[in-house]
Each structure stands twice: as structure tokens, then as C-alpha cells.
């Protein structure tokens, strides 16, 4: 367990010291780092705990150390996870990462909190923990040591409610495991979403035929643990998740809605330094795509990305590629290294795709996504529907084509299309004609049904992060509560 940042001087026993512990994947770490800086700006001391596997790429591809060096109340700590490979994990390795954490990290974390560097007997004891909801063992250690603990769920609230908190109910009602092959069968027993969900819209793990599968069992534990913590932090704003939040608050009365956290973070940071610009990406970003976008008129380019974990087959890639080219709309496509299962072989790509792409396309390994979505040339987003990506698109008023893969993305795609009316959900299909039509539908200048709605959501985002907005108020309450919880520690 190595320390990356120097400790500051000793402090009074009850001065707030928050431990942030995210699950080691790009999206959650990104959110937790933004929350860390928001807490640092308020004067709270923060220790950020990363597993070794995620911390290496973070240091290699970002300026996170130099950025946080301006906060004497911040430090990184790392903890072993037993993973040997250097590259960030893909979707296929998700279970490997979770299993490694369970075997290696879990006992070391308990030692760290009970008797080690962050225990009550240490120079600066942790007064409040904020842990990823997936890391139920961390919340259990906090409860065991009487340390106040808050859960931070970086997945969508709509998925957390429908497929996590209601997972036991879905099993009891006989919806799980699925019977038959009709994925369009309605799910009518989840409060608030009676006329929204079909089987295909539940989280990906709900399709598992075996209820003893580790994903399902882990989720059941997570759903039982979160209500036992002192509060639940969500990356959303009240207006967006009005369908599910009232029901969730009956289970978890103390909810802090501080999203979109990237927008709130940017607003607070710009107040401190208007020229601040940085990234938390564990992949090296290709900034040249921004100058490529500069060549195109407003709202004419489709941005395509399946995020930091998802993969697609070579055939699926070709179908998406044909659809993009046939739409005749300029496109910027992020193809993450390793995202094509079985590898990429350009020699068998049809020559017409390569030629048309030279004319209207730009393909990069990774892009500065927030900057891309904020670029005036981007008018649509072909997305895997990860929650960070969804919120980043909503904040910029960009209509989406949702092609979800796993975890919360199935639910997110449905809500984008049916509840928020911010795009088109094409889940469970991979067809060039469907892709082409979806691109044309969201990029057509006559698509006012999408632009009107997405512009409304973008305006609501600005209101929520304003001085008197719901997310700003929630953040203020979170900071106040951290101080109160810290002062009452024995």
C-alpha cells in the first residue's frame, strides 16, 4: 500500500478526513476524482484510494498528480489488487477484476482501516468513508469500525432502482430468470416504471438463466448494503430522475443528487480558475480530432464511441461502419485499442468503406469526450449508453443513438428513448440499415422532436448546477453532513 502524495501536518481529532474508494474502472474513478476535488475546494481533507491496476494508467495518461498538488488537503493511497496486466480492463475482464479485489484487496483494506495507516490509531484517522456501492465489503468494514459511511453509485439511478433495489422483487414475482424468448414482455411491478420497462430493458445481468450467478448474487448483497449506510450519493439531478427518486427515497431517505458531476465540477472549478482544463482518462487522448471537427459546420458530425469497457465483434464493427458511411454524415469514431474482439484486420475491410471514411470520417484510439460533445460541429452521439456518457450528452443537448452493452446501459437506453425523449434506443440490433436510419433521424435538420427536448434538458442541467440549483444545494448539504458526522465520531 503505497502513498503517492505527502501527508500534511497533524490535525485535530475531529477535523473531517474523507476516504474515497472507487471501483477500479475508468467511469467510476473519473466521477470519484471530480467529487474529490469538489470536497478539496470546500477545505475537507481527502484520501483517494486506488487499486494498483487502475492507478498506473491514471498516472501515465493524466496530469492528476500535478493537478492535485495544489491541494495540501489531498493525498493518494494505493492498495494491491493482484492483477498483473498493465492495460486497463475491458468488459470481458470485469469479473476477473472483481474476483481479484475480493481475494487480495478486501483483507488488506480491512487491515488498513482497523489497525493500519487509516485506522483510529493513525495520525490522521478517517472520519467518513465514501465508497463505491459495488464495494460492499468496504461499507461493511466502515460499519464494523463505527465509521460513518456513504455509498456513491456511479451507475444510473434508473438502473439502481429497477434492476438493483428491485432485483429481489423481480425474482419473487417470477420475472427472473426469464422464461421464453419474448424480451418485449412488459415489467409492470417496479414502482414508477410500470409502463416503461420490458425484459430487454433490465440490466444485462438480469438475462442470466442462473440465479446463483456471481453477478446476481453480488448485486443482491449490494442492494441490501447500501440502505445500511448513512446516505447515498447519486450522479444525477432531481429533474432528470423524478420518475424513480421518490420511490428510492423511501428505501434510502438520505440521498444527495450532485449531478451531472462533470458539469457541477466544471462550474466550481471555473470559479477558481477559468482556464482550468484537464482529463481523468486512463487512455491517451488524441487531441487532433478537435481540429478535425473545426472543419465542419455546426451540428453536422456524428460522434461514435462505445466507452472504456465494451467490445464488439469484427462483423458488428462492419455493420456500424456501413451504417455510418451510408448515412453520408461526417463521423468521428473512437475505436479503443482492444475493443474489437479477435482483432482488427484492415485487409478484409471493403475498400468502399475505407475510401468513404477518408472523405467524411475520422477514426482515433481515444478522444477527449467532454470536449468533443461540447464542440459546435457535433450534432449526434452513437453511444454505448454508459451513465457518464449519457449525462455528458444530456448536458450538451446532444441527441443519442443508444446501443447498450452491459450493467446499467440497457436501462439507460430505454430511458433516453422513452422517458427523456433524448434519442433512439436500438439495443439488441446490429444492422447497417437500422444504424443508417437512426443516424439520419437524429441528424436531420427536421428532427426538431429531439433538439427541442435535448435543449430543454441542457437548460435544466444549467439550472441544477447554479447557485440555487438542486445539485448545488445537495453538494452543500453533503459537505455540511460530512462535517457533522466527523465531529460526532467517538
Name beta bridge partners: 257.
234
Give the pLDDT of residue 66. Answer: 87
Give the pLDDT of residue 203. Answer: 95
**β-strand 378-383 against 400-402: which pairing, if any?**
parallel
What is the C-alpha to C-alpha distance for residues 120 and 113, in angstroms, rounded to an integer? 8
Give the pLDDT of residue 9. Answer: 41
Domains and CATH numbers, the chain: 17-277+464-487 (3.40.50.2000), 288-462 (3.40.50.2000)
What is the C-alpha to C-alpha distance for residues 154 and 20, in angstroms, rounded to an integer? 13
Q: What pTM was estimated for this model as a whole?
A: 0.92
Sign of CA dihedral 275, 280, 282, 288: negative
H/E segment holding residue 43 = none
Ranges under pLDDT 50 in the chain: 1-12, 273-276
Please enumerate in sequence order all residues whose Cβ is within 8 A of that of 394, keeping only pairs 6 or more positions apart, or say none: 240, 260, 420, 422, 454, 457, 458, 461
Give the pLDDT of residue 3. Answer: 43
Under DSSP, the state recorded for 345 is -
Amino acid at each position: 500500500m503505497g502513498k503517492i502524495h505527502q501527508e500534511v501536518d497533524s490535525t485535530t481529532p475531529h477535523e473531517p478526513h474523507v476516504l474515497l474508494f472507487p471501483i477500479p474502472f475508468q467511469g467510476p474513478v473519473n466521477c470519484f476524482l471530480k467529487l474529490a476535488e469538489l470536497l478539496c475546494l470546500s477545505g475537507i481533507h481527502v484520501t483517494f484510494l486506488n487499486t494498483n491496476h487502475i492507478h498506473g494508467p491514471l498516472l501515465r495518461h493524466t496530469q492528476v498528480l500535478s493537478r492535485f498538488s495544489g491541494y495540501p488537503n489531498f493525498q493518494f493511497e494505493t492498495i494491491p489488487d493482484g492483477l498483473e496486466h498493465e492495460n486497463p480492463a475491458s468488459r470481458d475482464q470485469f469479473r476477473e477484476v472483481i474476483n481479484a479485489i475480493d481475494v487480495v484487496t478486501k483483507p488488506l483494506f480491512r487491515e488498513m482501516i482497523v489497525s493500519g495507516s487509516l485506522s483510529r490509531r493513525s495520525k490522521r484517522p478517517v472520519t467518513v468513508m465514501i465508497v463505491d456501492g459495488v464495494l460492499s465489503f468496504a461499507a461493511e468494514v466502515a460499519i464494523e469500525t463505527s465509521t460513518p459511511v456513504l455509498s456513491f453509485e456511479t451507475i444510473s439511478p434508473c438502473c439502481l432502482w429497477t434492476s438493483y433495489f428491485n432485483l429481489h422483487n423481480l425474482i419473487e414475482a417470477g420475472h427472473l430468470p426469464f422464461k421464453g424468448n419474448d424480451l418485449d414482455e412488459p415489467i409492470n411491478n417496479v414502482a414508477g416504471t410500470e409502463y416503461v420497462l420490458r425484459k430487454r430493458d433490465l440490466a444485462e445481468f438480469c438475462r442470466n438463466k442462473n440465479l446463483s450467478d456471481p453477478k446476481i448474487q453480488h448485486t443482491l448483497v449490494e442492494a441490501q448494503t447500501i440502505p445500511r449506510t448513512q446516505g447515498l450519493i447519486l450522479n444525477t439531478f432531481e429533474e432528470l430522475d423524478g420518475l424513480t427518486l421518490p420511490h428510492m427515497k423511501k428505501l434510502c431517505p438520505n440521498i444527495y443528487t450532485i449531478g451531472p458531476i462533470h458539469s457541477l465540477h466544471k462550474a466550481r472549478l471555473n470559479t477558481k480558475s477559468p482556464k482550468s482544463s484537464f482529463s481523468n482518462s486512463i487512455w491517451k487522448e488524441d487531441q487532433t480530432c478537435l481540429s478535425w471537427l473545426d472543419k465542419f459546420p455546426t451540428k453536422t458530425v456524428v460522434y461514435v464511441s462505445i466507452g472504456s469497457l465494451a467490445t464488439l465483434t469484427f462483423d458488428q464493427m462492419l455493420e456500424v461502419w456501413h451504417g455510418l458511411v451510408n448515412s453520408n454524415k461526417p463521423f468521428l469514431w473512437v475505436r479503443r485499442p482492444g475493443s474489437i474482439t479477435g482483432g482488427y484486420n484492415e485487409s478484409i475491410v471493403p475498400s468502399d468503406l475505407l475510401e468513404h471514411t477518408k472523405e467524411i470520417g475520422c477514426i482515433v484510439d481515444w478522444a477527449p469526450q467532454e470536449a468533443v460533445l461540447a464542440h459546435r460541429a457535433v450534432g449526434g452521439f452513437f453511444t454505448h449508453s454508459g451513465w457518464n456518457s449519457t449525462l455528458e450528452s444530456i448536458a450538451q443537448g446532444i441527441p443519442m443513438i443508444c446501443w447498450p452493452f452491459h450493467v446499467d446501459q440497457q436501462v439507460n437506453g430505454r430511458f433516453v428513448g422513452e422517458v427523456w425523449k433524448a434519442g433512439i434506443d436500438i439495443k439488441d440490433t446490429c444492422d447497417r440499415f437500422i444504424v443508417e436510419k437512426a443516424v439520419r433521424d437524429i441528424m436531420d435538420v427536421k428532427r426538431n422532436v429531439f433538439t427541442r427536448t435535448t435543449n430543454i434538458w441542457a437548460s435544466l442541467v444549467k439550472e441544477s448546477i447554479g447557485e440555487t440549483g438542486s445539485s448545488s444545494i445537495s453538494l452543500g448539504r453533503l459537505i455540511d453532513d460530512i462535517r457533522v458526522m466527523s465531529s460526532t465520531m467517538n
